[in-house]
């Protein structure tokens, strides 16, 4: 199945009958990532019974994979798998989808285009002056690169490579790159590929594979970036100090709730289960999510490691499902009943779900009827908290119906 999918992140074949979804409680642990203050505002729960939404076409693009917004900029920016970053003016769309502007950065010819490879991640620095991309190069290895951004374009001459990671296989590349609420740069990497994590990278703190990394992109002492001194494995013998969380198969995607600062991770499973992990704001750093001793809540190569976090939600591959596509917690104003729900999708089935939680326990979840099904590759969130769905053919805004 992997060869058929554009970004089906190592889903594998086969599945369970019945297509059940299981909500679980995120186990308390002393090893969860720190994501912000522990005091959270009292928020109204989403009313999923009242949600009626549809997808409104915004722009037709070639296999878009990621979306970002730039502070003080009215455009949205979208990566195409083949290597281009395109600008789309916000407010375009409706009945007449816009054509995106020219490429603000073109890495075509530098990017591999295998099933799960390509230009996979995009973000801007908090001041908007720098653009960061995460892509697989022509050899299939991961590169995270920084460019100065000014007057609507990235400057190719300013290219500075922050990170290079050798990828042993062509799948499970991760691809997320994002600034967290703490202003640090977070990078998602899969376990290196193949099936069942043959090199046991997920639980190996000596490799960056199967991890979420946390760095300061400023150079330091001849290195292209700085490792924050409060990272959880700084000073531990044999551990890479960049690691912030581990035990992940292929985190596609991870995001923070812009209001509560809780962390959500959609981690692509093996051939039976897809999982969503939840880490409340203020939890200590160094989370272990169990892969490859566990596949979601199910033993794979042993059992759940001590202190590991179990997923808050899982679903199986029944009904043609194959690969979880992580989204964001909705904090916009256009769909009030959806506010506070986490959105996610499945690549193969094209289903979109909303999930509500309280205290780390799912209180409601359901599929949203968005009016169509498509091969969904990613989600986006604009500066006002409105949500976008990226399919293999273009960008759509989620709007009230």
**Contacting residues for 223 by C-beta, under 8 A, at least 6 apart:** none
Q: Give the residue from 238, 251, 241 showing the smallest Cα distance to 210.
A: 251
Output the CA torsion 37→378→119→15 (10° steps). Answer: 110
- Transcribe 249-315 into DSSP letters: S-EEEEEE-TTT--EEEEE--SSSEEEEEEE-TTPPS-EE--TTTEETTEESSS-PPTTPPPPSEEE
pLDDT at 47: 98
- What pTM was estimated for this model as a whole? 0.91
DSSP 8-class letter at 238: T
- Transcribe 168-195 into DSSP letters: SSSS-----EEE-TTS-EEEEE---SSS
What does the pLDDT average to over 168-191?
98
Q: Is 397 left (phi over 0), alpha (psi -120 to 50) or beta?
A: beta
Question: How far, in Å, are 22, 33, 232, 354 from residue 366 at the CA level?
Answer: 12, 27, 36, 6
* Each residue's pLDDT tens digit, 145-155: 999 999 999 99
24-38, 206-220, 241-255, 373-387: least confidently modelled range? 24-38
Give the angle 283-123-66 at the CA atoms, nearest 5°. 100
Confidence label for 97 from pLDDT (cuts 50, 70 and 90): low
Q: For residues 369 and 347, give the distance between their C-alpha atoms in angstroms, rounded to a whole number.
A: 15
* Each residue's pLDDT tens digit, 101-158: 779 999 999 999 999 999 999 999 999 999 999 999 999 999 999 999 999 999 999 9
Residue 195's Cβ-count burial label (10 Å; 0-12, 13-18, 19+) is middle
Confidence label for 12 from pLDDT (cuts 50, 70 and 90): very low
Q: For residues 204 and 247, give the distance between their C-alpha atoms in angstroms, rounded to a whole number.
A: 8
* Each residue's pLDDT tens digit, 276-330: 999 999 999 999 999 999 999 999 999 999 999 999 999 999 999 999 999 999 9
């Amino acid at each position: 199945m992997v060869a058929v999918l554009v970004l089906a992140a190592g889903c594998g074949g086969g599945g369970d009958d019945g297509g059940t979804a299981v909500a679980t409680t995120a186990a308390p642990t002393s090893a969860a990532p720190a994501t912000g203050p522990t005091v959270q505002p009292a928020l109204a729960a989403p009313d999923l019974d009242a949600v009626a939404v549809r997808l409104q076409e915004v722009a037709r693009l070639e296999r878009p994979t990621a979306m970002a917004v730039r502070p003080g900029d009215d455009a949205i920016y979208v990566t195409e798998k083949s290597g281009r970053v395109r600008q789309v003016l916000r407010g375009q769309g409706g009945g007449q989808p816009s054509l995106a502007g020219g490429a603000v950065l073109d890495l075509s010819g530098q990017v591999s285009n295998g099933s799960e490879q390509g230009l996979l991640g995009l973000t801007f620095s908090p001041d908007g002056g720098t653009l960061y991309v995460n892509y697989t190069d022509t050899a299939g290895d991961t590169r995270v690169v920084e460019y100065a951004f000014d007057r609507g374009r990235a400057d190719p001459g300013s290219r500075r490579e922050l990170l290079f990671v050798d990828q042993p296989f062509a799948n499970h590349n991760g691809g997320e790159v994002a600034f967290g609420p703490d202003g640090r740069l977070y990078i998602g990497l899969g376990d290196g590929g193949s099936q069942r994590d043959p090199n046991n990278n997920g639980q190996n703190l000596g490799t960056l594979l199967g991890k979420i990394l946390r760095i300061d992109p400023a150079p330091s002492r001849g290195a292209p970036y700085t490792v924050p001194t409060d990272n959880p494995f700084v000073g531990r013998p044999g551990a890479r100090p960049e690691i912030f969380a581990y035990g992940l198969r292929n985190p596609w995607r991870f995001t923070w709730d812009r209001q509560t600062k809780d962390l959500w991770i959609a981690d692509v499973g093996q051939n039976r289960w897809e999982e969503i992990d939840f880490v409340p704001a203020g939890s200590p750093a160094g989370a272990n999510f169990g892969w490859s001793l566990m596949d979601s809540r199910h033993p794979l190569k042993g059992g759940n490691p001590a202190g590991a976090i179990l997923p808050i939600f899982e679903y199986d591959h029944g009904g043609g499902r194959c690969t979880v596509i992580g989204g964001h917690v909705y904090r916009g104003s256009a769909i009030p009943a959806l506010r506070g729900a986490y959105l996610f999708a499945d690549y193969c089935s094209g289903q979109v779900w909303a999930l509500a939680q309280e205290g780390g326990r799912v209180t409601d979840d359901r599929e949203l009827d968005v009016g169509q099904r498509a091969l969904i590759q990613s989600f986006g969130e604009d500066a006002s908290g409105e949500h976008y769905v990226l399919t293999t053919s273009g960008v759509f805004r989620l709007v009230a119906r």
